[in-house]
């Protein structure tokens, strides 16, 4: 069954042509419809996981530290909880249906174990070179938070940073969007009509040109964008109140020095590409 979302203007228009008895019913329907759109974010809880290991028995030897602060939905939400938490587990740890605590602990154990297996012998060969010692200090940090998107949408944010040797750490931000009524993760294909790819890519490319102050693809490439990939619409986005923000992390469309790229597209500019259930945004 298709769901139709009524706004206040719709309700007023309906009330003008109904008898008093039907008017009462129409008001109740409108209140219910508007309420569905404004369902609050589900109740959440959080877990913290820390794990650290040194490469040798010496307390001053290089170490690997994992630190995570993870928000999840309480089990009181039933199937909604399961849908949301499974999506979070999958995105963070490539696991599902194992429980957030178990998934986080398993990830921390695997990460620190692989660190020891891969680098203990190498460090023993390099331990006399002070210039190389810092390369072996690894870390992996995850911070999460929950916010509101457009009415009826929960936005889940993942901030991650890790260092695995080399010149610098890697910082990334990921977003997941959930339908507050069902707990369903919302993808690009849930928002836009079939066949949207070409037109939406063009709109997002225009937004990138404007942000980078570039006239064409050649100027974008001169500034470091799209040198090794074509423009694409990512599954990393925020379903906001008045528009969608697409997120491109470092190296996705530009080098490290350009940092993360955020492209904001107003709903009014993409309404014809959106499915009918989303056009009331």
pLDDT of 66 = 98
Is a pLDDT exceeding 60 seen at residue 21? no
pLDDT of res. 2? 37
Pairing state between β 63-73 and 138-148: parallel
DSSP the chain: -------HHHHHHHHTTS-HHHHHHHHHHHHHHHHHHTPPPPPEEEEEEEEEEESSSSTTS-EEEEEEEEEEE-GGGTHHHHHHHHHHHHHHHS--SS-HHHHHHHHHHHHHHHHHHHHHHHHHHHTT-HHHHGGG-EEEEEEEEEEE-STTEEEEEEEEEEE-SSSS-EEEEEEEEEETTT-PBP-HHHHB-TT-HHHHHHHHHHHHHHHHT-SSHHHHHHTTTTSSS-----S-EEE-SSEEEEEE-TTTSS-GGG--EEEEEEHHHHGGGB-GGGTT-
Mean pLDDT calculated for residue range 140-158: 97
Question: What mean pLDDT value characterizes the chain?
Answer: 88
pTM for the complete prediction? Answer: 0.84
- The pLDDT confidence band at residue 245, using thresholds 50, 70 and 90, is very high
Work out the average pLDDT over 15-44: 55
Q: How confident is the model at residue 10 (pLDDT cuts 50, 70, 90)?
A: very low
- Residue 183 confidence (pLDDT) above 90: yes
Give the model's pLDDT for residue 30. 41
Going along the chain from its start, the domains and CATH numbers come out as 8-37 (no CATH), 44-179 (3.30.565.40), 190-278 (3.90.640.20)
What does the pLDDT read at residue 155? 98
């Amino acid at each position: 069954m298709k769901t139709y979302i009524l706004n206040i203007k719709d309700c007023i228009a309906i009330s003008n042509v109904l008898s008093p008895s039907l008017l009462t019913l129409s008001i109740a329907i409108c209140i219910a419809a508007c309420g569905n759109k404004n369902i609050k974010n589900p109740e959440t809880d959080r877990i913290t996981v820390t794990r650290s290991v040194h490469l040798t028995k010496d307390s001053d030897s290089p170490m690997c530290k994992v630190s995570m602060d993870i928000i999840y939905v309480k089990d009181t939400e039933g199937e909604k909880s399961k849908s949301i938490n499974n999506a979070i587990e999958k995105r963070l740890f490539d696991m599902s249906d194992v429980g957030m605590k178990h998934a986080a602990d398993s990830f921390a154990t695997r990460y620190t174990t692989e660190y020891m297996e891969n680098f203990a012998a190498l460090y023993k060969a390099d331990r006399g070179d002070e210039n190389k010692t810092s390369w072996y200090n690894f870390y992996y940090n995850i911070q999460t938070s929950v916010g509101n998107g457009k009415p009826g949408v929960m936005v889940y944010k993942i901030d991650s940073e890790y260092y695995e040797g080399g010149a610098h750490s890697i910082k990334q931000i990921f977003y997941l969007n959930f339908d507050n009524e069902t707990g369903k993760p919302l993808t690009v294909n849930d928002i836009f009509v079939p066949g949207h790819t070409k037109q939406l890519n063009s709109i997002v490319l225009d937004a990138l040109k404007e942000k980078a102050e570039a006239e064409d693809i050649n100027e974008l490439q001169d500034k470091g964008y799209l040198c090794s990939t074509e423009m694409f619409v990512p599954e990393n986005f925020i379903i906001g109140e008045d528009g969608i923000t697409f997120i491109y992390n470092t190296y996705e469309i530009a080098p490290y020095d350009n940092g993360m790229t955020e492209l904001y597209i107003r709903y009014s500019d993409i309404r014809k590409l959106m499915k009918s259930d989303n056009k009331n945004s």
